[in-house]
Amino acid sequence: MLKLIAIDLDGTLFNEEHQISEKNIKAIKQAEQQGIEVVIATGRSYFDAHAICKKVGLDNYIISCNGASIHSREGQQIAAIKMEKTDVEHIIKWLEDQNFYYEVSTNNGIYVPCAGRKILQLELEGLRDTSSEGDVVVSHKLVNLMHGQLGMVFVNQYQEVIKQNDDFYKILACSFDEIKRKSGVEQFMGMKQLSIASSFPCNFEMVNQKASKGNALEKLATQLKISFDQVMAIGDSPNDISMLKRVKYSVAMGNAKEEIKILCNFVTQTNGKDGVAHAIYKAINADVPM
């Protein structure tokens, strides 16, 4: 019997307009009425994910920063895996030297270089010569989405980040230049203390190698005294793989890439067609409301 459902946000619970549909909200609440715990498992920071959920009346457990932090329904942090400050300094110094846009997620905010938006805008201008108009529009929307996150703190230099007495959870780097982005991944692949994944094709995200959505979900299930063969996960991106591989019931979104779909037991509708609601109703043997 299903007892816990983990749901990714971007590309999964969010539709193409980056909103949570009424059908998805109703499905989550119906699952909860049947005694099923629902957890949001996202690469986003806790305060950003919490604000998004609160806005639509959801008060779920939240796994944030790709598994580096877990918060209860009441907003209490119940587990966290930090990055070492020396690693953070090494990484963001290199990213800044190489003119990357980056974000550092901590317990107090998301630190972003003041020059970051300009860096991405210049890269977007370069896309016009090599990409379709549709791809450029999507990329512009992604930039606006990133800069709409709650808790952003702008800094002039990486040293301002290191001076903070914060807990460091995740570093995100973004570039629309594929060669540049791949060079960044290659730069840090050798750091065995890191785990590297991506939530969008244009980014890569680094956390402590012990942190992942899969590890966090297992830790939460244990705390809730739920057997892991009673857990379902729904996702669409490479940063969801750790939880999709581990659970008994794995669901890929219809908009997920083939590498995600082949890992899963079931492929639901796309995020634009309320795929989360369809997956939940199928799992709880309920009809999808019209």
Expressed as residue numbers, the domain containing 63 is 4-81+211-283
Same domain, 109 and 9: no
What pLDDT score was predicted for residue 17? Answer: 87
**For residue 104, what are its two tokens?**
């550092």
Measured between alpha carbons, how far is 180 from 98 in angstroms, rounded to an integer?
9
23-26's contacts with Cβ under 8 Å and 24+ in sequence apart are 23/274, 23/277, 23/288, 23/289, 24/274, 24/276, 24/277, 25/56, 25/57, 25/58, 26/277, 26/289
Q: Which of 143, 178, 208 is the last residue before a domain boundary?
A: 208
Q: Pick the catalytic residue from 8, 48, 240, 274.
A: 8
Same domain, 58 and 148: no
Model confidence pLDDT, tens digit, residues 238-277: 999 999 999 999 999 999 999 999 999 999 999 999 999 9
Domain containing residue 268: CATH number: 3.40.50.1000
Same domain, 134 and 181: yes
Model confidence pLDDT, tens digit, residues 163-183: 999 999 999 999 988 899 999
Same domain, 130 and 166: yes
Asked about 8 being catalytic, the answer comes back as: yes
Model confidence pLDDT, tens digit, residues 111-160: 999 998 889 888 887 766 665 555 555 565 666 666 667 788 999 999 99
Q: Is the pLDDT of residue 34 over 90?
A: yes
In a domain, 290, yes or no: no
Same domain, 151 and 120: yes
Same domain, 169 and 248: no
What pLDDT score was predicted for residue 149? Answer: 74
Model confidence pLDDT, tens digit, residues 49-105: 999 999 999 999 999 999 999 999 999 999 999 999 999 999 999 999 999 999 999
Measured between alpha carbons, how far is 70 from 217 in angstroms, rounded to an integer?
9
Q: What is the pTM of this model?
A: 0.91
Q: Supply angle C-alpha 130, 271, 218, rounded to 5.
A: 110
**For residue 93, what are its two tokens?**
């110094």
Same domain, 244 and 175: no
**Domains of the chain: total:** 2
Amino acid letter, residue 166: D
What pLDDT score was predicted for residue 290? Answer: 39
What pLDDT score was predicted for residue 137? Answer: 55
Measured between alpha carbons, how far is 240 from 226 in angstroms, rounded to an integer?
20
Domain containing residue 132: CATH number: 3.30.1240.10
Q: Which of 208, 237, 254 is the last residue before a domain boundary?
A: 208
Measured between alpha carbons, how far is 221 from 187 in angstroms, rounded to an integer?
35
Model confidence pLDDT, tens digit, residues 179-222: 999 999 999 999 999 999 888 888 999 999 999 999 999 999 99
What pLDDT score was predicted for residue 144? Answer: 63
What pLDDT score was predicted for residue 201? Answer: 81
In a domain, 148, yes or no: yes
In a domain, 289, yes or no: no
Same domain, 91 and 195: yes
